[in-house]
Each structure stands twice: as C-alpha cells, then as structure tokens.
Structure 1
Amino acid sequence: MLVSHKHRFAFVHVPKTGGCSISQALQPYGDRVMRFWMNRWLDRVGIHVNHYAPPEMKRFRLHTPADTLRRQLPADDFARLFKFAFVRNPWDLLVSYFHYLVSSPRHHRRARATGLASFEGYVDYELRRDKISQSRMLCDRHGRLLVDHVARFESLHEDFDRICGWLGVPATLPHVNRTVAHDRRDYRTYYTRRLAARVAEH
C-alpha cells in the first residue's frame, strides 16, 4: 500500500495487478516514513506504531487491505484520501499466480505449487486457503466497498493515466516484477468448465 497525505491518495495493492509498477511510479509522491528504523524497534518492545503514531509516521505492508487502512487512520483522514485499486480477471489472476510461484525459486510457497499434480490441483489449493479474493482487499467484512475507484489491470496504462490526472501528479508507469513464463498460454486454455465455475463461485 502507498499512502500520500500531501496528495490525498491511498493505493491499495492487490497482488498480481501491476501494483509494483504503480507503486514505483507513485513513490515520489507518497509519504516518507523517515523513522522507519524507530518503528521497527518500537514494534519489538510492544509499542505498535501503526496504532499510536500520527498519520505521517504510519507504515503499511505491501498488500495492506483497505479495511486495515480504515481502522488505523482517523476517520477524517481516511475520508479525505482518494482510495483506489486495480483488479484483474480472476481466472487470469490464478494463472499468473501459478506461473509466478513456479518461476520464483525463493518464494516460500513455490514447493507447494510445484508439488501439486496439475494447475487444477493448484487452484483447489488456493481456493481452500481462501486468501486470494480480490474483494477482500477492497471491502469490509460486511462486503461494503471501501475504495473510491476500482480500475482494471486489463486497461492498466489508460486507467493509471486517468487516475494520475485526477490526482494531479505527472507519474509515468514503468514495468517491473514481470513474471517470465515462456510456456504460458491463454488463460482460458487452463480451465475445464467445472474448474472455471468453481473460481466463479468463489
């Protein structure tokens, strides 16, 4: 997640939706947590800065959900921010996740992905984990949407440029953290009707 109180925005980083490129482009306009080393030290002694620090000292994890941001900021600060995120076709997203894990030797879940018999086995595993829902990143526990704008990965550059225009920041989108998968096919070829329906139900 990237937050800017000066430019009044919060980018909620849904995994595998171009978020690394977006964060890199907007980083110069985001809040600078100058005392990050102190935050870590305070955490170790049991003082959790995210709960007690003023907004400009708060730090958020890469994939912090919008509901966590809402709970950790004063209500007025949260309301002032233009909160946005990008989402992706869920069937394509799972294929991207699968290839990302298989091609990432240091990822802690790579062994799990490569140890499964098939892509279908991987999808079953992810659905059982129940942690891959994009809506969970953007909604509260009652299903209410907490962000102001949901853009699409499929129109990443166009939507990003539009958002930058709204924010008044002249950011340029780079391309980083691309998963290299030479044997990747069109995502639709990975699914049987049954498997596609299971993802839709989830």
Structure 2
Amino acid sequence: MIVSYSRRFIFIRPRKVAGSSVELFVSRFCGEDDIITPASETEETLRQGMGPRNFHIPGYGRSRFLRICGEVLGRPAIGHGGFYNHMPAKEIKRLIGDEAWNDCFKFTIERNPWDRQVSLYHWHHRNNDAKPSFETFIRSPLHRKFSPNFDTYAIDGRVAADYVCRYESLEEDLAVVLKQIGIDEKVDLPKAKVGYRSERSWRDYYTPKTRDIVGQWYAREIAAFGYSF
C-alpha cells in the first residue's frame, strides 16, 4: 500500500492481483515523506525505488489481540502498527484525512475471481509438501480461504478507487495510471511471487458446484466488473 503525497496518488492493494509487483514498481516514483508499507525480505530485493517508510503510527502495536480489537472497532490499523499492505480504503481515508484522500488519485487492481481463487490456493499451500484438493479447499470449512478484495477497495459498498486496473491487462492499465499522475515512464514490473502454480488452466480446477460457490463468494466483484466463468 502506498500513499504518495509528492505524486498525489494512493495505491490500494488487494490480494492475489500482482499487487506486490505493482507496489515495488511504483515506489520508484515516491518521495521521502510518502507512506510505503514493507514487503517481504525477498520482495524488497526487487524494489525499484524508495523502501518502506512512514508506515508506523506511534501508539499502535502489533499483536493478534490488538488486531481483533481493531477489527471490532473498525480500525484495523491499531493492531498492525499503522499502515499495512492490504489495508482497506476506509481505514486509509480515516488515517490520512478527507483532504489528502480527495486530493489523491486512487487506483487498485482486480482479477477474475475464479482465477484469483486458484492463485490463492497455490499461494496458501506454497510451502506444503502435501496439500488438500482444490475441491476441499473450496468446500471444507477447515480448509477454505477467502480474499475479500471488494472490502479492500470499496467504502460503504461502493468502489472508492478512481481507477481499477484489470489483472488481465495490467501493464496497459498501469500505463493509464502513470499518465494520469503525470509520470512519463515505461511500465516495467518486477516478477514478485511467481512460480507457485502450474500452467494448468484455472477453469480446469472447477466442478459446477465449486464454480457456483466461488461465484457466490465474490458476487460483488463479478457484478461490479462483469467477470464471468
């Protein structure tokens, strides 16, 4: 997640949409006073510009208990020590204030939810020698995982970003973003978090039942952006 006061843009970072690569790339255009959240140690080696800075908020801690309390209060930053990677737009706005929020060009990314769920499956089990079947990952309450992206970039049920890049056309859409914020540079994304899934088509993972389950989970994204199986 990035709040660039110098360039007047905010990158709202959802999950499993190449957000790491985009953040590492656009940080090269940031200044000393901008907010840049940390990446993993491996990812930081790919960063093309400013490293993490200004994300900690004094008085905010890091613990599971504080995260739970923060979620209940609608202020998740309390338990994350301040700004963090997949921070909801509502919380970013609260912390930086309406004036800065309204002054910045806000962009995010979305991806076909059925494809995104397959990516989440492989990422979640990337370090496991044995992993459950995809069917189990979707249907079992003990194994299923979600990536609630709509709640990341929406406020009160409405998309809060000024522009939503599509994962399927990411470089072209990101070029539109750069033009909007006055940057004349070629898009050159680093390859972060790659190599965790096979070349198998994401559609081949699904049965009619699991297709419908995922469609229900992510109905808001599907309705907002016209995705289909």
TM-score bracket for the superposition, by shorter chain length: 0.7 to 0.9
The separation in 2 between residues aligned to 1:5 and 1:35, in whole angstroms, is 15
Aligned to 1:24: 24
Q: Which range moves more in the overlay, 7-16 or 34-43?
A: 34-43
RMSD: 3.3
Aligned to 1:65: 88
- 8 Å contact kept, 1:22–1:173: no
- 8 Å contact kept, 1:2–1:11: yes
Q: Which range moves more in the overlay, 189-198 or 173-182?
A: 173-182
The letter of the residue matching 2:60 is D
- 1 or 2, which has the higher helix percentage? 1
The separation in 2 between residues aligned to 1:73 and 1:124, in whole angstroms, is 39
Aligned to 1:43: 60
1:36 offset after TM fit, Å? Answer: 5.6
TM-score normalised per structure 1: 0.77
TM-score normalised per structure 2: 0.69
Higher normalized contact order (CA 8 Å, seq sep 6+, divided by chain length): 1
Q: How many corresponding residue pairs?
A: 185
Matched, 1:12 2:12: yes
Matches within 5 A, 1:1-202: 1-30=1-30, 31=34, 39=56, 42-43=59-60, 60-103=83-126, 105=127, 114-116=130-132, 118-124=133-139, 131-140=146-155, 142-171=156-185, 172-181=187-196, 183-202=198-217
1:130 offset after TM fit, Å? Answer: 7.0
1:143 offset after TM fit, Å? Answer: 0.6
- 8 Å contact kept, 1:25–1:174: yes
- 8 Å contact kept, 2:56–2:83: no
The separation in 1 between residues aligned to 2:139 and 2:115, in whole angstroms, is 15
1:129 offset after TM fit, Å? Answer: 6.6
Judged with a 3 Å threshold, the aligned counterparts in structure 2 of structure 1 residues 92 and 126 are, in CA distance, closer, same or farther, namely farther
Q: Secondary structure at the match of 1:180?
A: coil
Q: Which range moves more in the overlay, 64-73 or 23-32?
A: 23-32
The letter of the residue matching 1:19 is G
The letter of the residue matching 1:132 is S
- 8 Å contact kept, 1:21–1:173: no
1:97 offset after TM fit, Å? Answer: 1.1
Q: Secondary structure at the match of 2:109?
A: strand
The letter of the residue matching 1:197 is D
The letter of the residue matching 1:9 is F
Specify every segment of 5 or more residues in structure 1 that has no aligned partner in the other structure, as ranges: 52-57
Identity within the alignment, %: 26
Judged with a 3 Å threshold, the aligned counterparts in structure 2 of structure 1 residues 24 and 199 are, in CA distance, closer, same or farther, namely same
Aligned to 1:54: none
Aligned to 1:55: none
